[in-house]
Chain A
Amino acid sequence: MQRPENEILHTDIKPGLQHARRLLAYLLRATHVRIDPQRIGRERYRRVSTELADMLIAAVMSTRSTLGFYQAICARFGVDVSGGEHGPLEVWLPEGRIRWDRACAALKFEDVRQIVRESPDFLATFAATRGAEGDDIFAAFPEPTVSVGYIPKLPECLISPRSYRTVWTLTGPMHHGADNKTGNNNLFRRHTVTDPLTGFSHHVPFKSGNSIRGALRDKAMGLHLRLLGLKATDIPPSKAHALLAGGAVEQGADTATVNNVVRRRARELCPPWDLFAGCVDQQIMQGRGRIGDATLVCRETAWKVHQVVAPEIPVREFAAGLPSCDELTEFRQLVRNKHAELEQSDGVQMLVNFEVIREGSQMVHAFQLWSIDGVAPQTASFMSYLLNEFRDLGWDGAGFARDFGTIAFDAYTPGEGTPPLPTPDIYLEYVESRRQEMIDWLMEERSPDATPPRMRGKGGKRGASQQDLPIGTPEAPEAV
């Protein structure tokens, strides 16, 4: 493609997402041309479009302006946009050329963020193609859906279901993996949220209730076993799997046989099981605890968290004083050194980027005990015991070994009309009174009252079951 004679200014670029998408794609194509294979290495150059697609998401998440975003891309690939033998980088559009800084000026960062999230692979593919090829593709894409802009009337009198809430303050950066992988950039998990104060939708980081539940479950079972003087390796593997991971849905568990003898015994003899439940002895059981997502305290979620964080301030005033969720995340780079001086070294150096929520940010977390009137006192008391342990440990999220996910919080407070949790003493006394029965239940491979499993086919055909493996007695590590 010949250098276009016509020079364009940023004021010549029409507004709108379609035009922004086209300009950004051409800007990345011009940048791709400037990547020097000698500088970054042939091997890396062969896969440069994949790396670009991965990098786009990380760059748009970790920067706050179009210039910053573009700077991050250029720095990653060692592109000198300001001069050199070619002069300042120019974007060659079919209708004319525009200098990189003017192109950046014409791109609104909100548009860049939306376009990159829409499809980084499309942008990388276009960037890796030469000349004016593929310009017709932009007309084929429809204008992105215009948000309905729904602004509801916020509730004046809300009936809050019975729950317990607290505010976590992050004393270290927190990471929680996203659903999608983007190369060596591990993004924080996000979901779409509509801000009823503005009517706009945002991708807001959150920590899923299921992951918090998993962490609490591990702690709960560990506490209970330790109190009984047992380790997880002392009990049958199937029971350990049920306690720590919820068990497996065996054949016959999904049929209509509800064995209440087995269920009631499990709930009575293992309060943490009553709380989290799962599938044991072919019984799929429902736990009493419902663990909610942790909601980041930011401008976009202000309407939801303000009653917990600052009920005395009017919600709009409270929202105005909060940062946007995008300002609360940053990237942390981790390096695995290649240690080339060692003979045994594999000579591989690795860089990994983690998107983390910044230290000092706050999250609101809530849980509910299902049908509080019906929850056994020892189960509710155990929840108190567990929360004390959780608070003392002060950790949730990925990367604990790197000091990620440390949190501090005050005790969970019951909402309006919610009875306070009983003290842990009830649970501790209950364990003392029924210790041997509890140990017996834990040591059972299968409950004597359990319904016998139905075998498939003649003689009960079984698949490659782990039951066939020889059971050893490895030395279990001491509980920490």
Chain B
Amino acid sequence: MSWASENRAWRERARERWAPSLPEPLLVRAWLDAPVAYDGYDPLTLEGALQCVVVARETGRTPDDVFSDCPLSASIEETDIQVPIVDTVVGGIPVAHASIGWFSPDAVETKRQNWKRADAEHYNRPVIKISQADTKTQMVAKATVTALHVDFYVEGDREKLRDLLLEVPTLGASRAGGLGMVHGWEVVAVPLTWWWYGPGRRLMRSLPLDATQCARGFSPREATLRAPYWHPRTRRWCGVPEQRIGEPMGEARGRFFITGHAVRRFRERIPGRRKLGYSAALAELVSLAEAAHYVRTESDGTELWRGPSPTRVRLIVSRQIAGLPQVLTVRPAWDGLMPAAAP
């Protein structure tokens, strides 16, 4: 009997029980109790953790146990686990309507050192070498991010997600020693459909490269598209979102959505604004945007707007996703004023 047929019953049960019955746009926010192990390469994702809980709920066993004898070559149809998040099939692979984890604007890159030492006095050997071989003392430094919260934008079933998240106590790697511990989860309905594309069509999760042609803020490389993300079966050339730690996503103010990138560029590029804090820079940019006027539509579909005197800043505005027009970036009045340090 194959693994697929042996495990069909509980997978069918999970599909019925955990399919999203009332999907809606949601913000799933993890308030963190500890730094999260994050190396800046592999994004944080939510679906894998939810799948683990579904496996445990349906089988009473750990995913390690359940999948230990599952052949690596098994197809996705025979092994996929349902979670209460909507999927869309792209290139033959169901891709979840779930963004990667976006850190809060206060996030900073940190490191955590863990020590492992042999308790050598208690070993039945005359001599224990703690500088080599199996009893070597190890210091492992982990790249971490310290932040207040991590946000996931999803389209899913609120009640089912709340139920499963009760049993997701951690995010990321190195969890046994406390890294990635979640203080609590918030699941709230939001009018934002940012699971694939964010403000200004910023890429919000890994997608096949063909689906990222109009997107921004990603790097093209090999990545996987479906949880469990370590599994090679969905590996493709993808667009993988780039996340600048500490940069806010932005916020809707007045008639525009001002992206965090635009605020950063405003501070870098407009003379005299470098020392402004984020909130002060945002407030000034909002007032400039309110007084700005439309100039033209560029060849890439973005719009050029110009602010009032004396700064006469140029605002690049996108209308490529629904909702308020998004201010993508800010340029000075003309390119001659652009400081050399900010390309």
- The chain A residues found within 8 Å of chain B, CB to CB, are 143, 146-150, 152, 155, 157-163, 179, 191-194, 196, 199, 201, 208-214, 218, 231-238, 240-241, 244-248, 250, 256, 258, 260, 263-264, 276-277, 286-287, 289-293, 295, 304, 366, 368, 370-374, 417, 463-466, 469-474, 476
Q: How far is the CB of B29 from chain A (nearest CB, A)?
A: 7
**Inter-chain contact B31/A158, CB cutoff 8 Å:** yes
**Inter-chain contact A155/B169, CB cutoff 8 Å:** no
Q: How far is the CB of A116 from chain B (nearest CB, A)?
A: 19
Q: How far is the CB of B30 from chain A (nearest CB, A)?
A: 9
Identify A237's interface contact among B104, B125, B166, CB under 8 A: B125
> What would be 10 A-B contacts, judged by CB atoms less than 8 Å apart?
A146-B276, A146-B277, A155-B184, A158-B183, A161-B182, A192-B110, A196-B106, A201-B108, A276-B176, A473-B124
Mark each residue of chain B from 165 to 196: 1 if its CB lies under 8 Å from any CB of chain A, else 0: 11111100001111101111111000000000
**Inter-chain contact B126/A293, CB cutoff 8 Å:** no
**Inter-chain contact A235/B133, CB cutoff 8 Å:** no
The total of Cβ contacts below 8 Å across the A-B interface reads: 225
A residues in contact with B110, CB < 8 Å? 191-192
B residues in contact with A179, CB < 8 Å? 111, 113
Residue of B nearest to A196 (CB): B148
Identify B133's interface contact among A201, A295, A466, A474, CB under 8 A: A466
Interchain CA distance A354-B52 in the complex, whole Å: 43
**Inter-chain contact B275/A143, CB cutoff 8 Å:** yes
**Inter-chain contact B61/A374, CB cutoff 8 Å:** yes
**Inter-chain contact A147/B176, CB cutoff 8 Å:** no
Known: A147-B277, A148-B277, A463-B133. A161 touches B168 (CB 8 A): yes
**Chain A interface SS verdict (over half):** loop
Q: For window 54-76 of chain B, which residues contact chain A by CB distance below 8 Å?
A: 56-57, 60-62, 64-65, 68-69, 72
Interchain CA distance A463-B134 in the complex, whole Å: 11
Interchain CA distance A380-B123 in the complex, whole Å: 28
Q: A161-B182, A210-B177, A286-B62 are in contact. List 10 more A-B contacts (CB 8 A).
A: A155-B184, A161-B184, A208-B114, A208-B177, A208-B178, A247-B134, A292-B34, A371-B62, A466-B125, A469-B127
Q: How far is the CB of A480 from chain B (nearest CB, A)?
A: 13
Mark each residue of chain B from 106 to 139: 1 if its CB lies under 8 Å from any CB of chain A, else 0: 1010111111111100111111110011111000
**Inter-chain contact A148/B106, CB cutoff 8 Å:** yes
**Inter-chain contact B176/A191, CB cutoff 8 Å:** no
User: Can you list the 3 inter-chain pairs with the closest CB atoms, starting with the nearest?
Assistant: A209-B178, A210-B177, A158-B184
**Inter-chain contact B277/A149, CB cutoff 8 Å:** yes
Asked if B246 is an interface residue, CB under 8 A from chain A, the answer is yes
Known: A146-B276, A157-B186, A209-B34. A236 touches B105 (CB 8 A): no
Known: A241-B123, A371-B56. A159 touches B134 (CB 8 A): no
Asked if B95 is an interface residue, CB under 8 A from chain A, the answer is no
Interchain CA distance A211-B139 in the complex, whole Å: 12
**Inter-chain contact B166/A161, CB cutoff 8 Å:** yes
**Inter-chain contact B178/A293, CB cutoff 8 Å:** yes
Asked if B33 is an interface residue, CB under 8 A from chain A, the answer is yes
Identify A295's interface contact among B33, B128, B136, B179, CB under 8 A: B33
Q: How far is the CB of B197 from chain A (nearest CB, A)?
A: 24
Residue of B nearest to A231 (CB): B122
A residues in contact with B293, CB < 8 Å? none
Q: How far is the CB of A413 from chain B (nearest CB, A)?
A: 16
**Inter-chain contact A244/B104, CB cutoff 8 Å:** no
Asked if B101 is an interface residue, CB under 8 A from chain A, the answer is no
Known: A155-B31, A374-B62. A258 touches B68 (CB 8 A): yes
Asked if B10 is an interface residue, CB under 8 A from chain A, the answer is no
Interchain CA distance A147-B182 in the complex, whole Å: 24
Known: A152-B148, A374-B56, A466-B133. A290 touches B65 (CB 8 A): no
**Inter-chain contact B124/A237, CB cutoff 8 Å:** yes
**Inter-chain contact B125/A290, CB cutoff 8 Å:** no
Asked if B162 is an interface residue, CB under 8 A from chain A, the answer is yes
**Inter-chain contact B125/A469, CB cutoff 8 Å:** yes
**Inter-chain contact B169/A304, CB cutoff 8 Å:** no
B124, B246, B279 interface centre (most CB from chain A within 10 Å):
B124
Interchain CA distance A250-B136 in the complex, whole Å: 12
A residues in contact with B34, CB < 8 Å? 209, 292-293
B residues in contact with A237, CB < 8 Å? 123-125, 128
**Inter-chain contact A194/B106, CB cutoff 8 Å:** yes
Asked if B278 is an interface residue, CB under 8 A from chain A, the answer is yes
Known: A148-B106, A241-B134. A246 touches B116 (CB 8 A): yes
